[in-house]
């Protein structure tokens, strides 16, 4: 290979690596999902770059959460006593969290618990109160990037449920986070 060709290849390599549009990271992007599902999450996977909580690769999620001492497939919440059960996409990303505070939480505390599990660039789409639940939807560019085609608009639904099928803002028993509704839709029958 001639000297001129080697110099040209070197210049192209430097330009490709060094140049990126403003706001675009030059680091490797986190792996993204490609097949939505809601399956049991695998155990013992290595951590990956990207999100740490909802939408994270299960290896990364598990690195940040100890298993529950009572039910080994669940994890501790960390903020309040209780446990979290998770489900994954077909390729190992956390796409459902079912959070069970040990003592029922007021809605404000339940919202703080849920918001600590979604990316910091999340914006509220809606907050609807139904007879049997309260449903929030948030959207996040970081979540859309991480989950790819599974969640191209980066939405996450947050549902509060109380005992006896009637929503009580003073007593949230379950906080469900998932990808159930399309962006802007609220089709929960609760």
- The pLDDT tens digits for 84-117 are 999 999 889 999 999 999 888 999 999 999 999 9
Instruction: Identify the pLDDT of residue 38.
Output: 67
What average pLDDT does this structure show over 4-14?
A: 36
Alpha carbons 129 and 137: distance in angstroms, whole number: 12
Instruction: Identify the pLDDT of residue 189.
Output: 83
Instruction: Identify the pLDDT of residue 37.
Output: 55
- The pLDDT tens digits for 16-64 are 333 333 333 333 333 444 445 568 998 889 999 999 999 999 999 999 8
Instruction: Identify the pLDDT of residue 166.
Output: 95
Other C-beta atoms closer than 10 Å to the C-beta of 34 total 13
C-beta of residue 124 within 8 angstroms of C-beta of residue 137: yes
Alpha carbons 124 and 137: distance in angstroms, whole number: 6
Q: Which helix (H) or strand (E) holds 136?
A: strand 134-139
Beta bridge partners of 176: 98, 159
CA dihedral 64, 66, 68, 69 (to 10 degrees): -170
C-beta of residue 57 within 8 angstroms of C-beta of residue 43: no
Alpha carbons 151 and 107: distance in angstroms, whole number: 26
Alpha carbons 134 and 157: distance in angstroms, whole number: 10
Residue whose structure tokens are 């969290």? 97
Instruction: Report residue 66's pLDDT band, with 50, 70 and 90 as the boundaries.
Output: confident
Instruction: Identify the pLDDT of residue 4.
Output: 42
- The pLDDT tens digits for 110-152 are 999 999 999 999 999 999 999 999 999 999 999 999 999 889 9
């Amino acid at each position: 290979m001639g000297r001129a060709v080697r110099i040209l290849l070197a210049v192209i390599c430097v330009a490709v690596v060094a140049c990126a549009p403003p706001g675009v990271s030059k680091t490797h992007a986190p792996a993204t999902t490609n097949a939505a599902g809601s399956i049991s999450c695998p155990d013992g996977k290595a951590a990956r770059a990207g999100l740490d909580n909802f939408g994270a690769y299960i290896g990364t999620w598990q690195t940040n959460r100890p298993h529950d001492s009572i039910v080994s497939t669940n994890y501790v919440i960390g903020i309040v006593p209780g446990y979290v059960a998770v489900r994954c996409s077909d390729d190992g990303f956390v796409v459902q969290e079912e959070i069970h505070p040990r003592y029922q939480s007021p809605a404000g505390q339940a919202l703080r618990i849920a918001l600590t599990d979604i990316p910091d660039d999340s914006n509220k789409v809606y907050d609807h109160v139904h007879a049997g639940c309260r449903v929030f939807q948030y959207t996040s560019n970081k979540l859309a990037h991480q989950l790819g085609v599974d969640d191209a608009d980066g939405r996450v639904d947050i549902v509060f449920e109380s005992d006896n099928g009637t929503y009580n803002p003073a007593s949230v028993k379950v906080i469900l986070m998932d990808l159930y509704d399309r962006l802007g839709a609220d089709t929960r029958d609760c």
